[in-house]
Amino acid sequence: MSEDRLEILPVPKGVQAEPEEAPARRVLPPLPVQVNLSGASGELPDVVQMAGRPAIRFKGATPVTRGLMPVSVDMTAGEAAGLLRERCFRCLHFRHEDWQKTMAIWSRAPLGSTRRGAFAWYARNNAVALFGEAFTQAELDAAVKDLREWGWCAALTEARADPVLVHPATHCPDDEPNRYQDRSRTEKREASEIYDTILRKAQGRSA
């Protein structure tokens, strides 16, 4: 799967801005989209969350054709630096090993069991998020492989009283308290270096 990237944009001439206020653009991996070629709905698409990732959905669309649509998000360099600094895989609450154990148990459970059904639900949702509704068996296999990198979020699981699985490259939900904590001094140092690098680039200095 392609990674998202960050672009620091030039500040308009005559505009004074601190490095944190410099314009930036986060370019996300292309998102799956399914379109009704007849255009019967005549409405703009919605951006929805599917399996922890944004996806594009046309109202009333029939999966006639499928493809990938590039998506970008404009923000300030400071906002981008904060998001990239506080990714789940560096967080104290990210439980990758626990999810690995759960996934191994669920994937080997008998067909028709609750555990096997839960595994199939996660696999299908991730396949839809990555490839759209009409995914192939090969794409489902790729989605399962991608799931191996995920992990339980202990903080969100406790807050919601329900298991919450998260992608390692995501961050705390925007509409909830920020529960991020560096796992160790190593992660704190790495996160600070990323933050400083982005702001140096925003100042026009080399990393």
Q: Is the dihedral of CA 123, 129, 135, 137 positive or negative?
A: negative
Domain membership of residue 75 (yes or no) is: yes
In this predicted model, what pLDDT tens digit does every residue of 115-135 receive, in sequence order? 999 999 999 988 988 887 888
pLDDT value for 170 = 85
Domain membership of residue 51 (yes or no) is: yes
Domain membership of residue 207 (yes or no) is: no
Is pLDDT of 111 > 70? yes
Domain membership of residue 45 (yes or no) is: yes
Domain membership of residue 182 (yes or no) is: yes
User: Total structural domains in the chain?
Assistant: 1
Q: What's the rounded Cα separation, in Å, for the pair 61 and 50?
A: 17
Q: 117: which 2 tokens?
A: 């059904």
CB 173 within 8 A of CB 179: no
**Mean pLDDT throughout 191-206?**
79
Give the structural domain span for 101.
5-202
Question: Which of 35, 13, 42, 10 is closest to 24 using CA atoms?
Answer: 10
Between 27 and 85, the more confident residue is 85
Residue 83 pLDDT class (50, 70, 90 cuts): confident
**Mean pLDDT throughout 90-105?**
95
pLDDT value for 120 = 94
Question: Helix, strand, or coil here: 72?
Answer: strand
Domain membership of residue 74 (yes or no) is: yes
pLDDT value for 64 = 47
Question: Which of 59, 29, 52, 90 is closest to 166 using CA atoms?
Answer: 52
In this predicted model, what pLDDT tens digit does every residue of 149-160 receive, in sequence order? 999 999 999 999
Between 11 and 37, the more confident residue is 11
Domain membership of residue 158 (yes or no) is: yes
Q: Identify the burial level of 123 via C-beta atoms within 10 angstroms of its C-beta, where 0-12 means exposed, 13-18 middle and 19 or more buried.
A: buried
pLDDT value for 199 = 85
Q: What's the rounded Cα separation, in Å, for the pair 52 and 57?
A: 15
